[in-house]
Copies of this chain bind each other. A is one copy, B any other.
């Protein structure tokens, strides 16, 4: 505990700084929007609610990447970078929830659901669901712009041509590409070969999640602090397997997790038709009839709890859950071994170790 407290207190200070900066930023935006029309306030309100919650994983990876590369603890630039990442994550979640038709987010209604409820409460005309989706689409666009605005506010360290700007650009493009691969696999997976399904799922994970959630944020923090390429490469050898393990843990929780803890109904990933590594193993390891059954059930929005339970059973029986857990364990080992080799001071090293531990062993 004595070793942990410098990490905890420093981390708390940073998180508080990010929260305060987000508040200030959104309050300024609120003033700009108020000159347009009071009706627009609900867009900012939705963004505000969303950025209040969350684990701040990306902001923290960025912070410790910065500290590990010699950045100072109380530099406002890293707080601004944390805000930009949180705003980007909020934008991604808003659009993701439209795509995945998820009505809940962090235990409350998702943004499109909030707007369709606003529609119903006010007794407005036409289709409340379409209005909700359209309003959330625009809110996500606004939030994406805010994220960029915040990132540019960093100033010279994030200027055109800087390593940090390059990482931020690649991060955005890759996560959108990864999300496309994800929805593509949902529809094209059933007509593609089962043999390639684990590889395809791993590629999706890499781009839509691992690079975006851990690798790029850590590198971004490092680059902002002027880290040499060697350090950025060493960061990747830790953060990429970590991010893959993190997303696979998420996928396992999506099927086997406790809704009370995750804040999301269990089985929604199956109803949406997500073809995760776990699903990939099941398609390959289950008996042909069971694999065919799974193939048919995936993407059925009306899947009952019984069906979900049947899929769970199948995944356990054929060893898909074990195979996924083994892969998570292997990737975690890779990540922790790479972490030990990182040439960092004690505090950033400890902090990254704790973040990594939380990412791969979490229950929510």
In contact, B145 and A187 (Cβ under 8 angstroms): no
Number of copies: 2
> How many chain A residues touch B (Cβ–Cβ < 8 Å)?
65
In contact, A43 and B180 (Cβ under 8 angstroms): yes
**Closest chain B residue to A172, Cβ basis:** B145
Does any Cβ of B come within 8 Å of A36's Cβ?
Answer: yes
Assuming A125-B299, A144-B141, A169-B145, is B134 touching A183 (CB within 8 A)? yes
In contact, B169 and A160 (Cβ under 8 angstroms): no
Looking at A67-75, A151-159, A321-329, the stretch in contact with chain B turns out to be: A151-159
In contact, A173 and B32 (Cβ under 8 angstroms): yes
In contact, B144 and A145 (Cβ under 8 angstroms): yes
Looking at A103-111, A116-124, A342-350, the stretch in contact with chain B turns out to be: A116-124
In contact, A32 and B170 (Cβ under 8 angstroms): yes
Does any Cβ of B come within 8 Å of A232's Cβ?
Answer: no
Assuming A40-B177, A154-B160, is B125 touching A191 (CB within 8 A)? yes
Q: Which residues of B contact A187 (CB under 8 A)?
A: 119, 124-126, 128, 131
**Closest chain B residue to A95, Cβ basis:** B137
In contact, B152 and A160 (Cβ under 8 angstroms): yes
Q: Which of A260-295 contact B (CB under 8 A)?
A: 273
Tell me, in angstroms, the Cα distance from A172 to B32 when the chains sit together.
Answer: 12
Q: Mark A225-264, 1 if CB is under 8 A from B, else 0.
A: 0000000000000000000000000000000000000000
**Closest chain B residue to A155, Cβ basis:** B160
Does any Cβ of B come within 8 Å of A302's Cβ?
Answer: no
In contact, B37 and A181 (Cβ under 8 angstroms): yes
In contact, A188 and B144 (Cβ under 8 angstroms): no
Does any Cβ of B come within 8 Å of A29's Cβ?
Answer: yes
Q: Mark A304-348, 1 if CB is under 8 A from B, else 0.
A: 000000000000000000000000000000000000000000000
Tell me, in angstroms, the Cα distance from A74 to B152 when the chains sit together.
Answer: 27
Q: A30 → chain B, closest Cβ, in Å?
A: 11
Tell me, in angstroms, the Cα distance from A131 to B190 when the chains sit together.
Answer: 14
Tell me, in angstroms, the Cα distance from A148 to B168 when the chains sit together.
Answer: 11
Tell me, in angstroms, the Cα distance from A99 to B115 when the chains sit together.
Answer: 14
Q: Which residues of B contact A165 (CB under 8 A)?
A: 152
Q: Which residues of B contact A161 (CB under 8 A)?
A: 155
Tell me, in angstroms, the Cα distance from A160 to B151 when the chains sit together.
Answer: 9
Q: Which of A173-191 contact B (CB under 8 A)?
A: 173-174, 176-181, 183-184, 186-191
Does any Cβ of B come within 8 Å of A63's Cβ?
Answer: no
Q: Which residues of B contact A191 (CB under 8 A)?
A: 122-125
Q: A95-B138, A139-B180 are in contact. List 7 more A-B contacts (CB 8 A).
A: A36-B177, A124-B190, A126-B273, A131-B187, A135-B183, A142-B176, A152-B159
Instruction: Please name 19 pairs of A and B residues whose Cβ atoms are closer than 8 Å in the assembled complex, sorted by A.
Output: A36-B207, A37-B203, A37-B207, A39-B181, A40-B177, A98-B134, A99-B137, A99-B138, A125-B189, A125-B299, A126-B273, A134-B183, A135-B180, A138-B179, A142-B172, A142-B173, A145-B172, A152-B159, A152-B165
A-to-B contact residues, CB < 8 Å: 29, 32-33, 36-37, 39-40, 43, 91, 95, 98-99, 119, 122-126, 128, 131, 134-135, 137-142, 144-146, 148-149, 152-155, 158-161, 165, 169-170, 172-174, 176-181, 183-184, 186-191, 203, 207, 273, 299
